[in-house]
Amino acid sequence: MTAARQRILSGAKPTADSLHLGNYIGAVRQWVDMQSQYDAVFFIPDLHAVTVDFEPGELARRTRTVAAQYIAAGIDPEQSIFFVQSHVPEHAELAWVLNCITGFGEASRMTQFKDKSAKAGADAATLGLFAYPTLMAADILLYQADLVPVGEDQRQHLELTRNLAQRFNARYGNVFTVPDATILKATAKIYDLQNPTAKMSKTGESPNGAIQLLEDPKIAAKRIKSAVTDAGTEIRFDADAKPGVSNLLTIYSTLTGRSVAELEEAYAGKMYGHLKVDLAEVVVDFLTPLRNRTNELLEDPAELDRLLARGAERARAIASVTLANAYDKMGFLPRAGR
């Protein structure tokens, strides 16, 4: 008998008009690489998207855009389970259970909550934002995921997920697999092009700091060419002393498959301008087909919706079993007729 394949699970929020290059390099790329060796679950966490200000008129379009970007990047919706979080009500249901075993202090220590609530102000920060990490834990635990490929900024949420799984299992009986984060050191944090000590994000201060996967590749090329570097001249990887140049080398290396050492050698004695011009071309060559394919997929929203509906059915078949098991262990009165 062959052992069951390990399961991986991950997702990216539909909080902007496009995913950015940090999402791709830090996460989506790993998913594509891993999906054939693992039993894979990829979803679009739209319930997470409403924990901060959002436009109701934009949410559905952004959700479909992320779905199209997953497929354009190489996620195979037949091979992998691919769905929208709000289509599977078990996520919100298990999140409630997890809220009831999470300490107030424990949730208060989540750095993303601290950052986001500080930005939003005390009244604008909602209970939903506070409970964001328990919903994320529910996303993972419902599917008994073994591995969760994410960027560095999700590490603390994964730690909490592990703690909650262990706590539930110890308190009520064994239900959940305790997952591990898969965070690739070299690409775990892609930095803002204008502020290379901050991570590239959907809400960075300068629009020039991020490369949007759906934007005009010519604009992306300009952003690479105007990336902040340093007053030196040497093209060398040194994340502390040369964060801007190091970030460009990481992006270059990931998109071409050439190692950083090989790039350092190839650019020895050359100027930053050379590196930027070449990388701008690499980025354009990467973005152009990805963007075209995404737009093509978006022209047929009915087909995307069909794939997502099919994925939600597959997801529910797994999630409903885990939730029923958790309820059972907790001693809820079973619903008659089930």
Which residues would be at the binding site for ligand TYM (CB under 6 A)? 9-13, 22-23, 26-27, 45, 48, 136, 139-140, 148, 150-151, 153-154, 188-190, 199-201
- The values of phi and psi at residue 101, to 5°, are -120, 15
- Which residue's CB comes closest to ligand TYM? 26
Looking at the Cβ atoms of 12 and 263, the one nearer to ligand TYM is: 12
Looking at the Cβ atoms of 109 and 274, the one nearer to ligand TYM is: 109
CA distances (Å), 17 to each of 29, 213, 221, 284, in order? Answer: 19, 10, 19, 19
Write down the least CB distance from residue 321 to ligand TYM, Å: 19
- The values of phi and psi at residue 44, to 5°, are -110, 110
Write down the least CB distance from residue 202 to ligand TYM, Å: 7
Q: What is the DSSP letter of 149?
A: E
| Residue that is written with structure tokens 């990805």 in the block | 290
Which of 13, 199, 242, 276 is labelled catalytic? 199
Which of 13, 114, 119, 202 is labelled catalytic? 202
User: Which alpha helices (DSSP H) does 29-55 contain, by range?
Assistant: 29-34, 46-49
**Sheet of 39-44, strands arranged across:** 81-84, 39-44, 7-11, 147-149, 180-182
Q: How far apart are CA 255 and CA 283, in angstroms?
A: 8
Write down the least CB distance from residue 222 to ligand TYM, Å: 20
Sorted by sequence, the CB contacts under 8 Å of residue 212 that are 6+ apart come out as: 16, 17, 18, 19, 20, 21, 220
The CB-based long-range contact list for 241-247 (8 Å cut-off, 24+ gap) reads 243/191, 243/196, 243/197, 244/191, 244/193, 244/196, 245/272, 245/275, 246/196, 247/190, 247/191, 247/193, 247/196
Looking at the Cβ atoms of 139 and 146, the one nearer to ligand TYM is: 139
Q: Is the dihedral of CA 71, 73, 79, 83 positive or negative?
A: negative
Q: What is the DSSP letter of 9?
A: E
Which of 13, 116, 189, 242 is labelled catalytic? 116
CA angle at 303 for the pair 300 and 309, rounded to the nearest 5°: 140
Write down the least CB distance from residue 182 to ligand TYM, Å: 10
Tokens of 63: 């959700």
Q: Would you call 116 a catalytic residue per the annotation?
A: yes
Write down the least CB distance from residue 23 to ligand TYM, Å: 4
Whose CA is closest to 331, among 175, 183, 166? 175
Q: Would you call 202 a catalytic residue per the annotation?
A: yes
Write down the least CB distance from residue 289 to ligand TYM, Å: 21
**244 touches 52 (CB < 8 A):** no
Looking at the Cβ atoms of 30 and 229, the one nearer to ligand TYM is: 30
Q: Would you call 114 a catalytic residue per the annotation?
A: no
Looking at the Cβ atoms of 37 and 203, the one nearer to ligand TYM is: 203
Write down the least CB distance from residue 109 to ligand TYM, Å: 16
Looking at the Cβ atoms of 188 and 304, the one nearer to ligand TYM is: 188
Looking at the Cβ atoms of 85 and 229, the one nearer to ligand TYM is: 85
Q: Is the dihedral of CA 309, 314, 320, 326 positive or negative?
A: negative
Which residues are identified as catalytic?
A: 116, 199, 202
